[in-house]
A and B are shown apart, each in its own frame.
Chain A
């Protein structure tokens, strides 16, 4: 049972905490920065899942140390590139938000805000009141069906 080096664990904690804090901000650039910090943290977690530090997983290197687990490294490698792509996408969104709205801030959903603000309507249907009582109704009818 070899756990990860504690100093790295602390690093992961800081990366996650700062990343998540920035993610919850309103400025989109802060969100992008937070996302990338989270990405670093996640990659580090992946790598640490492979156990303690070791020699690079290259064959024929002749290193005496045990080789580090290559599988988390492979996963982290693709994760890095994907993070890069997603970051580009987020940046493009921030730019577009800036262009359309004049600011790069996360806006509240207008429709949701409208629902919060309005009062519930009393009449769900646009039916004349006299047609709401089937027993007493005096149907304005006679035009044929």
Chain B
């Protein structure tokens, strides 16, 4: 069965692709698979069930179950049989080769096949939504440029998916209540309780929307803009039956529930009558049929939801009969429209003379629809009357069914009269490609009606699962009795109704205010859009500071309140027992005051440069605090970073105005900002103290010391960075590489590459390698000398830091930063030419090389068992004696190169590239 569903997927793609040039061959080839499905289903009729199972994710309890039982056989006959006929018809109906349409029709047939075979609620849901999606495509595919078509397609999609989601919620409730998502197991042992009952109602809502039951039906008449084969297949024979099918599938489990029958039968009756009445007022033949479909689906709901054996037999017969009469009627309209150019009854006249074969076939289909013997529709209607002929509350249902039948008779005759009636003198000109399918389907309705035994055999096992009169059999003749009398009554009433109200096209206008589902749907859509607009308007106001403020306030409101509440209730740490002290080291308060003063001054600064300098002050003082806390590596790194950041800031600031723009924020805004920030700072501080004092397990950090001893490494921090947490470090340097790319992109994109500047500045005695212009203006011999003399020294020192990182303070990060400083020193007095001379390698090569080396070192670890596995090589060198080379050193070299590349990238972009800007006033626009 899985193969069958997959075959549909293959055919849906392959046939349009291979035979797209020949529209008729394509359509017929596509029809083979649905026909084969129907044939296979026919051979399985009356025989036992087939199951198939695919374990998808068994650990999660997700399996794909399929099951072929009597109900599935019936649906497959309908889906495959009508599908094959409609596909053939499509080959002659369309003038152009509609590849997408044919492919989607096949895909739809596949989804429908999967839906009726699925034995798992979730699998069923997936196929259910697949049919919805294909319906969306099929409604809009031929004329996507027309607003009405797009609207109808969207409406169908929205309605069925919205209620599909409701149904999914119901499935989950049912599945959780039952402990299984297998439909057969669920039906055999239905879950009880409020949750299961809620789930059941939600599932029914989904089924009602799919089967276009009043008041969720508006999408179906709207969908009549679809091409006729689509309407015939999806909106008459197959897709709209999915809801009815689901009701039939679950009826054995839930029909006994107190909610089920009133809900299903009530909605069914409403649809039956309302659909019939509205159909009687249509002059567009397709819309007439659409409302007729709503009406008939209502009847199907009643029969299949009733949960008794006779009703189920009647429902099964009507299920098949409806496909066999409604699809040919749609196809008839399509043929008429194809030949005459209109489907409006008031513009058609005398078509019976022009297309007699079509007229006869359509008349046969209508006869089945209104329940005349010996058609299948009659068999079904007899059984339906029989099922409710027991008095009591059933009598009301019976009255409804008879009234619905009378309406069916009336709009059936109205259809025939409107489509074919009227006077005309024309020669017969039948179009066999279009008439053939109609004849085939109508004849099938007759054939099954004459031999109802076969249907009895097929549907019997399903009906047998329900309680009720075990004797009743589908038959043409049950003798004189109530059913035949009521059938005759319905026909008589219907003819009378037609004569009174159904003969004029179009009918006299009436203002109907009670039932206008389209207006309701539009109203709901309107309300949702308005609601979304209102919410967006209030929530998304587009101001970044406000968003940040909201985030900050949320931090205060949620964890902040929790923290405060905990402290108030006395759940905080015991302050008396805590070793609270003002400082560990006398230098700490001094440095802290510097940090605080600088930070507050940076907050108040009005000039950009002052802010940058104060920021650097904060950074250096923080570095001092790191030293006092016992982190020389950290302090070293921070000091270098601070220096580089300051230079970077200054390089950018020279392109910006000296002062900040004046603050435009008003007083309340400033107060709010200040309040949120202050509270946030306080919150972090309190949290820090509470968290530190609440620690109840030993920290894992010191454990790394033993590891370091084992590795022979002296610097524990560096050992952690390049060995214990090497994978983290790898990720971090990758981030740095990406950052560098981002900086380059932001600064240089959209700009022409500058021409190498010509004429060299001359005449000055220089200490530098190349003549150039200092980027920050001015020139200083002292700086030039320092750069020239100190540069190599700094580079050597950076190498020392890199190698010493194994045992002393240092490492790749700080080494790379220090090396970067050496080049900064060359750049500041000499400009970008000096930089290019000093390092002829492109920074991007350094970044790529560094990252590559780090990854390669990690990959080499696979030799030792795993990625980033580290070993130590021992070697004896002449003069130097024995040395140790840990593999982590190469990793650290990678880090060193990458960080150096990052610094140089920043220099060349923020520094050198900005030199080319002669007009820094921002007037330049892309």
Chain A contact residues, CB within 8 Å of chain B: 1-27, 29-30, 32-33, 36-37, 40-41, 43-45, 47-60, 67-74, 76-78, 80-89, 91-96, 98-106, 108-113, 115-116, 120, 122, 124-127, 131-136, 138-139, 141-145
Question: When the two chains form their complex, are residues B540 and A5 in contact, meaning their CB atoms are under 8 A apart?
Answer: no
Residues of B within 8 A of A67 (CB): 630, 702, 705, 716
Tell me the bound Cα distance from A59 to B702 in angstroms.
12
Interface residues of B in 364-415 (CB under 8 A from A): none
Residues of A within 8 A of B137 (CB): none
Nearest B residue (CB) for A131: B148
Question: When the two chains form their complex, are residues A139 and B344 in contact, meaning their CB atoms are under 8 A apart?
Answer: yes
B335 to A: closest C-beta gap in Å: 12
Question: When the two chains form their complex, are residues A55 and B630 in contact, meaning their CB atoms are under 8 A apart?
Answer: yes
B775 to A: closest C-beta gap in Å: 15
Question: When the two chains form their complex, are residues B655 and A33 in contact, meaning their CB atoms are under 8 A apart?
Answer: no
Majority SS of interface residues in chain A?
A: helix
Q: From B536, B701, B743, give the contact of A89 (CB < 8 A).
A: B743
Question: With contacts A21-B674, A104-B656 known, is A36 near B615, CB below 8 A?
Answer: yes
* CB<8 Å pairs between A and B, sample of 17: A3-B692, A11-B625, A20-B680, A44-B625, A53-B585, A58-B715, A74-B718, A78-B729, A81-B641, A81-B817, A82-B735, A93-B746, A95-B746, A98-B656, A109-B542, A120-B529, A145-B227
Nearest B residue (CB) for A123: B526
A74 to B: closest C-beta gap in Å: 4
Question: When the two chains form their complex, are residues A6 and B615 in contact, meaning their CB atoms are under 8 A apart?
Answer: no
Question: When the two chains form their complex, are residues A80 and B716 in contact, meaning their CB atoms are under 8 A apart?
Answer: no
A53 to B: closest C-beta gap in Å: 4
Q: From A14, A116, A127, give the contact of B599 (CB < 8 A).
A: A14
Nearest A residue (CB) for B895: A81
Question: When the two chains form their complex, are residues B584 and A52 in contact, meaning their CB atoms are under 8 A apart?
Answer: yes
Question: With contacts A87-B648, A99-B924 known, is A74 near B717, CB below 8 A?
Answer: yes
B912 to A: closest C-beta gap in Å: 14
Known A16-B680, A48-B688, A109-B540; 13 more pairs at CB < 8 Å: A5-B584, A11-B596, A33-B611, A56-B809, A70-B720, A71-B701, A76-B634, A111-B542, A116-B541, A134-B287, A135-B278, A135-B512, A144-B338
Question: With contacts A57-B705, A82-B732 known, is A99 near B512, CB below 8 A?
Answer: no
Question: When the two chains form their complex, are residues A7 and B582 in contact, meaning their CB atoms are under 8 A apart?
Answer: yes
| B209 contacts chain A at the CB level, 8 A cutoff | no
Tell me the bound Cα distance from A76 to B530 in angstroms.
49
Nearest A residue (CB) for B728: A78
Question: When the two chains form their complex, are residues A13 and B682 in contact, meaning their CB atoms are under 8 A apart?
Answer: yes
Question: With contacts A26-B545, A141-B344 known, is A115 near B533, CB below 8 A?
Answer: yes
Question: When the two chains form their complex, are residues B717 and A70 in contact, meaning their CB atoms are under 8 A apart?
Answer: yes
Residues of A within 8 A of B663 (CB): 25
Residues of A within 8 A of B600 (CB): 14, 18
Question: When the two chains form their complex, are residues B746 and A81 in contact, meaning their CB atoms are under 8 A apart?
Answer: no
B424 to A: closest C-beta gap in Å: 17
Tell me the bound Cα distance from A140 to B920 in angstroms.
62
| B765 contacts chain A at the CB level, 8 A cutoff | no
B275 to A: closest C-beta gap in Å: 13
Residues of B within 8 A of A40 (CB): 595, 618-619, 622
Tell me the bound Cα distance from A14 to B813 in angstroms.
28
Q: From B537, B580, B715, B909, give the contact of A57 (CB < 8 A).
A: B715
Question: When the two chains form their complex, are residues B542 and A112 in contact, meaning their CB atoms are under 8 A apart?
Answer: yes
Question: When the two chains form their complex, are residues B630 and A54 in contact, meaning their CB atoms are under 8 A apart?
Answer: yes
A34 to B: closest C-beta gap in Å: 9
Question: When the two chains form their complex, are residues A7 and B589 in contact, meaning their CB atoms are under 8 A apart?
Answer: yes
A76 to B: closest C-beta gap in Å: 6
Question: When the two chains form their complex, are residues B739 and A86 in contact, meaning their CB atoms are under 8 A apart?
Answer: yes
Question: When the two chains form their complex, are residues B746 and A124 in contact, meaning their CB atoms are under 8 A apart?
Answer: no
Question: When the two chains form their complex, are residues B540 and A94 in contact, meaning their CB atoms are under 8 A apart?
Answer: no
Question: When the two chains form their complex, are residues A3 and B685 in contact, meaning their CB atoms are under 8 A apart?
Answer: no
A87 to B: closest C-beta gap in Å: 6
Question: When the two chains form their complex, are residues B622 and A127 in contact, meaning their CB atoms are under 8 A apart?
Answer: no
Nearest B residue (CB) for A65: B630
Nearest A residue (CB) for B594: A11
Question: When the two chains form their complex, are residues B347 and A142 in contact, meaning their CB atoms are under 8 A apart?
Answer: yes
Interface residues of B in 635-691 (CB under 8 A from A): 637-638, 641, 644-645, 648-649, 652-653, 655-656, 660-661, 663-665, 673-674, 676-678, 680-682, 684-685, 688-689, 691
Nearest A residue (CB) for B695: A1
Interface residues of B in 571-622 (CB under 8 A from A): 573, 577-585, 588-589, 592, 595-596, 599-600, 602-603, 608, 611-612, 615, 618-619, 622
Majority SS of interface residues in chain B?
A: helix
| B808 contacts chain A at the CB level, 8 A cutoff | yes
B805 to A: closest C-beta gap in Å: 11
A133 to B: closest C-beta gap in Å: 7
Question: When the two chains form their complex, are residues B702 and A69 in contact, meaning their CB atoms are under 8 A apart?
Answer: yes
| B522 contacts chain A at the CB level, 8 A cutoff | yes
Tell me the bound Cα distance from A71 to B665 in angstroms.
43
| B32 contacts chain A at the CB level, 8 A cutoff | no
Tell me the bound Cα distance from A133 to B143 in angstroms.
21
Residues of B within 8 A of A58 (CB): 632, 714-716, 807-809
Residues of B within 8 A of A8 (CB): 583, 588, 592, 625, 629
| B561 contacts chain A at the CB level, 8 A cutoff | no
Tell me the bound Cα distance from A36 to B612 in angstroms.
10
Question: When the two chains form their complex, are residues A96 and B747 in contact, meaning their CB atoms are under 8 A apart?
Answer: yes
Tell me the bound Cα distance from A18 to B713 in angstroms.
40
| B341 contacts chain A at the CB level, 8 A cutoff | yes
Question: With contacts A70-B716, A77-B721 known, is A127 near B151, CB below 8 A?
Answer: yes
Tell me the bound Cα distance from A144 to B717 in angstroms.
80
Q: From B284, B342, B577, give the contact of A1 (CB < 8 A).
A: B577
Question: When the two chains form their complex, are residues A113 and B702 in contact, meaning their CB atoms are under 8 A apart?
Answer: no
| B176 contacts chain A at the CB level, 8 A cutoff | no
Question: With contacts A53-B585, A57-B717 known, is A85 near B518, CB below 8 A?
Answer: no
Question: When the two chains form their complex, are residues B583 and A7 in contact, meaning their CB atoms are under 8 A apart?
Answer: yes
Question: With contacts A70-B720, A77-B721, A98-B655 known, is A33 near B909, CB below 8 A?
Answer: no
| B922 contacts chain A at the CB level, 8 A cutoff | yes
Q: From A56, A72, A101, give the contact of B701 (CB < 8 A).
A: A72
Residues of B within 8 A of A43 (CB): 622, 634, 638
Q: From A45, A51, A125, A144, give the contact of B151 (CB < 8 A).
A: A125
Question: When the two chains form their complex, are residues A80 and B638 in contact, meaning their CB atoms are under 8 A apart?
Answer: yes
Question: When the two chains form their complex, are residues B540 and A115 in contact, meaning their CB atoms are under 8 A apart?
Answer: yes
Nearest A residue (CB) for B579: A2
Tell me the bound Cα distance from A85 to B741 in angstroms.
11
Residues of B within 8 A of A96 (CB): 746-747
Question: With contacts A12-B684, A30-B660, A57-B705 known, is A47 near B629, CB below 8 A?
Answer: yes
B871 to A: closest C-beta gap in Å: 20
